[in-house]
Amino acid sequence: MPKTLVQEFTKGLWEELPPFRLVLGLCPTLGVTTSMENGLGMGIATTFVLVGSNLLISMLRSMIPTKVRIACFIIIIASFVTIVELLMQAYTYPLYLKLGVFIPLIVVNCIVLGRAEAFAYKNKVSFSMADGLGIGIGYTLALGALGAVRELLGHGSVTVWGDLSYNLASSFPSFHPFSFMVQAPGAFICLGLMLCLINVIGD
């Protein structure tokens, strides 16, 4: 059944929510979510690459030969990643330094290549853009949520872009932050528990 443009967009927000529903793109999900700001930044960068590559691949889909399509996809994606890399170096340098190796690694993020192969190569330009945007925003929200939980439990407060902040200790004076959550093992356990929560809600 053909879906409408809105449906293609909204499926990325719940039905096919990348890290939880599809369990793809886990490396940045675990690696950069030490704070909400990092998570959101990574999500936005990935969204840009997703929309850009989906748009270009969809436009070129009749010209890309089936046999070498994966190589073509990777080159297109790598070009967009380079654009993001240069843009972030120019305008958001502190964030660029924090995300570090994970920015060039958007190239090998399975979500981006997955959408190119499964969606953009077979669908119209407008639908591909809606799909890319939906999945990208879903991914951003998921990374932001995971980052927020880890930052809140690990540091006791959440700060986004310097001015928006919330301190847990003000509502629960007996709460002590445990830095375990912002370290490596906490990432795995926190994501595992969130996945469990999503499964409970999903049922």
Partner 1 sequence: MGYFELIIACVFVNNILLAQFLGNCPFLGTSKKMETAVGMAMAVIFVLVLAGTITWLVYTYILVKFGLVYLRTIAFIVVIASLVQFVEMFLKKSIPALYAGLGIFLPLITTNCAVMGVCVLNIDKEFTFLQALVASLFYAVGFGLALILFAGLRERIFLARVPKPLQDTSIALITAGMISLAFFAFQGMV
Residue of 89, 6, 11, 85 whose CA lies nearest to 49:
85
Encoded one letter per residue, x for contact with partner 1 by CB under 8 A and - for no contact, window 1-40 reads ----------------------xxxxxx-xx---------
* Sign of the CA dihedral with 188 first, then 194, 200, and 203 last: negative
Site for partner 1 in 62-81 (CB under 8 A): 71, 74-75, 78-79, 81
Site for partner 1 in 74-113 (CB under 8 A): 74-75, 78-79, 81-82, 85-86, 100-101, 104-105, 107-110, 113
CA–CA dist 183, 34 (Å, integer): 8
DSSP string, 78-107: HHHHHHHHHHHHHH-HHHHHHHGGGTGGGG
Site for partner 1 in 149-188 (CB under 8 A): 183-188
Residue 4 DSSP code: P
Give me the residues that bind partner 1 (CB under 8 A), please.
Answer: 23-28, 30-31, 71, 74-75, 78-79, 81-82, 85-86, 100-101, 104-105, 107-110, 113, 183-189, 191-193, 195-197, 199-200, 203
